[in-house]
Amino acid sequence: MSVYAGKFLRIDLTHRTWQEEAIPERDVQQWLLGSGYAAHLFYEEMTPERPALDPDASLYIFNGLLVGTFAPTASRTSFCGRSPLTGIWNEANVGHHWGAELRFAGYDGLVITGASQTPVYLYINGIDGHIEFRDASHLWGKNWFEAGDALLAETDAKAQVAGIGVAGENLVKIAAIAVGPSHYVRTAARGGMGAILGSKKLKAIVVRGKNRPDYPDRKAFLTTVKIENKAIKENSAGMSQLGTAGGFLATEQYGDLPLKNWRLGSWAKASELTGAVVYENYLVRHTHCFSCPIGCGKEIEVREGPYPSPRGEGIEYETMAGFFGNVLNENMEAGILANTLCNDLGLDTISTSSTIAFALEAFEKGLITEADTGGMALSFGDPDAVLTLIRQIASRKGIGNLLAEGSRAAAHQLGHGAEDFAMHAKGMEIAYHDPRGFVSMAVNYATANRGGCHLEALSYWNGYGLILPDLGYGDVRPRLESSPAQAKMAYDFQNYMSVYNPLGLCKFIVKGKVGPEGAVRILNAAMGWDWQPDDLLRMGDKLFQLKRLINNRFGVTSRDDTLPKRFLAEPRPDGSAAGNLPDLAMMLPVYYELREWDENGFPKPERLRALGLST
Ligand code: SF4
């Protein structure tokens, strides 16, 4: 193979057949790979009327272009298609080593359609060239830790595994796809893609390969990688040491941390629940995704006490925010166990914790009662209720059956004003960075293609001090002040972040100060291309607009580009963002003008033509 494999597999689970399809180089230049190429195929092949869990719905799994190379963090794979949670475009992205192994097996991606009658797993064995549909009856009903480990035992200990726990089997709309064995699980978490595997009776995909990339100029590429890795490492010492959990306390101090379903402004307890405390007490070892110089992953273990957690991937910032701050849980080990349960059951920790916080508030307001919960009282600050709800969501038992649909659907069913405190955008629970503390994020959440997703912009990083001169951000901008400049910041960061999943690189290298110039240096050195930073940003814009076109076909219009009422009308009562609200009504038209969207939220034909897109 060259840098990438140049082909993908189309797999039909109904008929248990597969065929290879070539990826022409001109397509790679046009869409990159990863979620870029997946969006291109999806746009060509989509049937808007087809529900996400229809047997004929397709799941597009694609490695980013550089996955499997030595490029820093070249490990990211996107699981794409129609989200069972939101009903619109989704790309759930994950690092780990699975994507690299898939490429070593000879494929850049998989398009999976149809549904098996009985549980099955795929074994893509690039060592001896076999692709097998294997019976998974003995694994159905098992959680991921047990299933993933069993798959390695019955295939190849050096293989890589991805699959679902019982949440995906039960078609829970916030189910994740887990990657890796029990002691080292990462998840393609957002948007409920685990339910798509469940609907197809596909328990897992096991991959094993032997190929390696071949570079146009290997020596020059390795020299570039060495230089970039050194700078990234120097700029990422905190991430290497504590992972994203290291930022937990700062988020409380910046008025960013969600508290009590986003109703409080500060929380003294945060200083006792920091990443440093987690890792001082429970760290087993640091973990790295494929080719990652940072290693933000942390394997941890809680050996004793009422909430023991087996050796496994540690709690990260978003999960801490959800299972500490947003439900006001002060018990660290219970929060760690919540993370462990989600990884094992196969649940998205952001959507699960946010939907639980919604349920706690609904109970407080009398919209959910003990008659609904089987006699269990729900209250903020009660970790046992949270742990019970996690299990009930995954199994769809009791009130869990309602919450398994996500907060938007649950609120719709409860009515009586519940919609006002279901904290989602376009059906996806908002990630844990407050748009009242970083107003550019209000514009991002309102316009992001998969809904309440922080990763589509990450522009709050500027407010925390990240400067990227080559993106036009050589200084830190006022983060609380709604302005046209904050709308532009959301736009600029979205365009830049939009190329990361297609390249297969981790956005955390941006925290290591890799701007468009650095990203293009890495890309050109790997591929022998001659792209400029503007080419990369133009590609980001193009792919963002393509996903908007997909969403327009699903019925998304300007009416959907909004935020939960709480973010627009209820300021944080205290803390450093106290009293602040984003002026979305002022910033959104600025953003629309930058994107050249009409008043209904459709990209204008002239912009599409300029980008080489068509409706
Ligand atoms: S920074 Fe963390 S998430 Fe990103 S590739 Fe490295 S280990 Fe994986």
C-alpha closest to that of 316 among 299, 292, 334, 293 = 299
Find out whether 431 and 189 touch, Cβ atoms under 8 Å: no
C-alpha–C-alpha distance, residues 410 and 404, integer Å: 8
What is the CATH T-level fold of the domain 238-417, as seen in this structure?
1.10.569
Radius of gyration of the chain (CA): 22
The minimum-distance atom of ligand 1 relative to the CA of 239 is: 1
CA of residue 248 to ligand 1 center, whole Å = 18
Residue the block writes with tokens 């007490």: 281
The alpha carbon of 133 and the centre of ligand 1 are apart by a number of angstroms equal to 31
Closest-lying ligand 1 atom to the alpha carbon of residue 297 = 7
CA torsion sign, 561 to 76 to 517 to 473? Answer: positive
Query: Does the C-beta of 23 come closer than 6 Å to ligand 1?
Result: no
pLDDT at 615 (0 to 100): 84
Tell me which residue has its CA closest to atom 4 in ligand 1.
506
pLDDT tens sequence across 18-73:
999 999 999 999 999 999 999 999 999 999 999 999 999 999 999 999 999 999 99
- pLDDT (average), residues 256-284: 96
Locate 266 and state its tokens: 């500060």
Strand partners, 130: 125
Give the per-residue pLDDT at 554: 98
Average pLDDT over residues 231-239: 96
Q: 63-83: per-residue pLDDT in tens?
A: 999 999 999 999 999 999 999
pLDDT at 488: 98
**Does the CB atom of residue 95 touch ligand 1 within 6 A?**
yes
| Type of residue numbered 96 | H
Assigned token pair, 431: 């990630």
Ligand 1 proximity of 613 Cβ (cutoff 6 Å): no
Spatial distance between the Cα atoms of 560 and 544, rounded to a whole number of angstroms: 16
Ligand 1 atom closest to residue 288's alpha carbon, by position in its atom list:
7
Ligand 1 pocket mutation, candidates 66, 296, 317, criterion most atoms within 8 A of CB = 296
In the prediction, which pLDDT does 5 show?
A: 98
Confidence of residue 348 (pLDDT cuts 50, 70, 90): very high
In this structure, which residue's CA is closest to atom 2 in ligand 1?
A: 296
Quick one: what percent of the chain has pLDDT higher than 90? 99
Helix, coil or strand: residue 611: helix
State if residue 294 touches ligand 1 by the CB under 6 angstroms criterion.
Answer: yes
Instruction: Name the 3-class secondary structure at 429.
Output: strand
Per-residue pLDDT reduced to its tens digit, 444-476: 999 999 999 999 999 999 999 999 999 999 999
Centre a 10 Å sphere on the Cβ of residue 542 and count the other Cβ atoms it contains: 23
CA dist list (Å): 288 to 95, 97, 279, 449: 9, 9, 16, 29
How far, in Å, CA of 259 to CA of 159, rounded? 41
Evaluate whether 355 touches 429 at the Cβ level (below 8 Å).
Answer: yes
Q: Which fold has domain 7-208?
A: Aldehyde Ferredoxin Oxidoreductase;  A, domain 1 (3.60.9)
Q: Yes or no: say if 503 and 496 are a contact pair by the CB < 8 Å rule.
A: no
Q: How is the chain split into domains, by residue range?
A: 7-208, 238-417, 428-497+532-611
CA distance 473 to 4: 33
Residue type, 34: G
**428-497+532-611: same fold as 238-417?**
no
> Best mutation site among 179, 228, 289 for ligand 1, i.e. most ligand atoms within 8 A of its Cβ?
289
CA of 77 to the centre of ligand 1 (A): 12
Nearest to 13, CA basis, from 98, 130, 86, 119: 119
pLDDT, residue 1, reads: 74
CA of 380 to the centre of ligand 1 (A): 32
Ligand 1 centroid, distance to 344 Cα (angstroms): 20
CA–CA distance, 25 with 557 (Å, rounded to integer)? 34
Say yes or no: CB of residue 245 within 6 Å of ligand 1.
Answer: no
Q: What is the mean pLDDT of the chain?
A: 98
Q: What is the mean pLDDT of residues 363-392?
A: 98
At residue 614, does pLDDT exceed 90? Answer: no
pLDDT band with cut points at 50, 70 and 90 for residue 564: very high
CA–CA distance, 173 with 190 (Å, rounded to integer): 10
CATH of domain 428-497+532-611: 1.10.599.10
What is the distance in A from the centroid of ligand 1 to the CA of 101? 16
CA of 95 to the centre of ligand 1 (A): 7
In this prediction, residues 2-31 reach a mean pLDDT of 97
- The ipTM value here is 0.99
What is the reported pLDDT for 115?
Answer: 98
* Ligand 1 atom nearest residue 96's Cα: 8
159-198: pLDDT as tens digits? 999 999 999 999 999 999 999 999 999 999 999 999 999 9
Q: What is the pLDDT of residues 523-553, one digit of tens each?
A: 999 999 999 999 999 999 999 999 999 999 9
Q: Choose among 379, 434, 410, 124: nearest CA to 259.
A: 434
Helix (H) or strand (E) holding 11: strand 7-12
Q: Is 197 in the pocket of ligand 1 (CB under 6 A)?
A: no
